[in-house]
Amino acid sequence: MPTIENPFRPGAGHPPPFLAGRRSEKEAFGKLLRQSTILENLLLTGLRGVGKTVLLDSLKPIAIDQGWIWVGADINEASSLSEQNMAVRLCTDLAPATSSLVVGSTSWQPPGFASETLTRHQTLSYHALWSIYERTPGLVLDKMKAVIETAWHAVSAEGRMRGLVFAYDEAQNLTDHAAKEQFPLSLLLDAFQSIQKKGIPILLILAGLPTLVSKLAEARTFSERMFHSLFLKGLSEADSREAILKPIKSRRASIRFTEETVNAVVKMSGGYPYLIQFICREVYDAFSGRLDRGEQADVPVEEIERKLDADFFAGRWSRLTERQKDLCYAIARLPSDDSEFSVREIVEESTKSLEKGFGSSQVSQLLAVLSKQGLIFKNRHGKYAFAIPMFSAFVRRRLRGM
């Protein structure tokens, strides 16, 4: 049989050929959609490569099937520079969903001067939404509430839709800027909480790195009660095996993975979906080439590790200072390096293994910087962990090569 094209597709947010696992997360989302009054929104967090974007995309058809309109985008730093930028983001995302809706079909009108901007039978294009924003009196919060409420009343007048879902990926980029008196993250939370208190069915989904959790808590203390939080972990062994084997079977490929190969991939990947795709692609290509030459097809572990280091880890490592790298070396030597670690543990290890150790204040400062860079995050128990899966193994490989 001819060799079929490699079925594995590693990439940033690219859907895998088979989405394994995540059944409990989808069930939890289904329960949120069935709320008669929106009391909880959805917060998806997890390490890089754990499949947050892919899961978020898989929730969209679930919402649409249950009668919800899906609105969303990726959040970049520009969206979070100011409150008005956040307002532009929300109006831009709303417009495709509302541009076919006619305001004049309902007697409801937005408050204040905003009603003067709308004519009977006018559609809610971006221009119309932004006109409501500009003409509504009050703060940015008042303006945004008027825009979203107008959109919902236009939607509800159609009588077919249950509500609106606002879904934002890369939400760890959201932040308040107290020094500039700009609070876009707080604006987002305040707007949705206020609208939901009125009984309007508008659901917010935020997905991002674990650093998002602390940002939400700093912005608004009520955020912990506002969200149902799901921290995505690596796939179970059974789900990992499905992610490895089903793409090959579904494509009727000429390459087959043995039990030994599957076990090796599961172990190397740690169950992280991106790493499964990356490693399987390399194994598939290696098997194809070696079988064509009549050679034995073994998993090229060292070759894959070198490529993984170059493609996935090296870029982040190159941006670290020498002292930040020293800190990572100390963490990689800890017994708990792949789970969580404390400032005290890092200090003690650094005095044993580094030529120049760290004090507690130095470690705390370095961890804070690395947290802002998205390399490390602090959990609710006051301990830290790497935000990139298998990063400690990469650092240990660096140590062996020194």
Walking along the chain (402 residues) 10 residues at a time, the average pLDDT comes out as: 71 79 94 94 92 94 94 89 94 89 57 55 84 91 93 80 92 91 94 94 94 89 91 92 86 75 89 90 80 60 86 89 93 80 92 91 93 83 84 87 62
Q: How many CB atoms lie within 10 A of CB 295?
A: 11
3-class DSSP string for the chain: CCCCCCCCCCCCCCCCCCCCCCHHHHHHHHHHHCCCCCCCEEEEEECCCCCHHHHHHHHHHHHHHCCEEEEEEECCHHHHCCHHHHHHHHHHHHHHHHCCCEHHHCCCCCCHHHHHHCCCCCECCHHHHHHHHHHCCCCHHHHHHHHHHHHHHHHHHHCCCCEEEEEEECHHHCCCEHHHCECHHHHHHHHHHHHHHCCCCEEEEEEECCHHHHHHHHHCCCHHHHEEEEEECCCCHHHHHHHHHHHHHHCCCCCCCCHHHHHHHHHHHCCCHHHHHHHHHHHHHHHHHHHHCCCCCCCCHHHHHHHHHHHHHHHHHHCCCHHHHHHHHHHHCCCCCCCCECHHHHHHHHHHHCCCCCCHHHHHHHHHHHHHCCCEEECCCCCEEECCCCHHHHHHHHHHCC
**Residue partners of 290: CB distance under 8 A and separation at least 6:** 296, 297
pLDDT at 242: 92
The verdict on domain 23-232 having CATH code 1.10.10.10 is no
* pTM of the predicted protein model: 0.85
The verdict on domain 319-400 having CATH code 1.10.10.10 is yes
Query: How many whole angstroms separate alpha carbon 69 and alpha carbon 162?
Result: 8
Domains 23-232 and 319-400 in one fold: no
In the chain, what are the domain boundaries?
A: 23-232, 251-316, 319-400
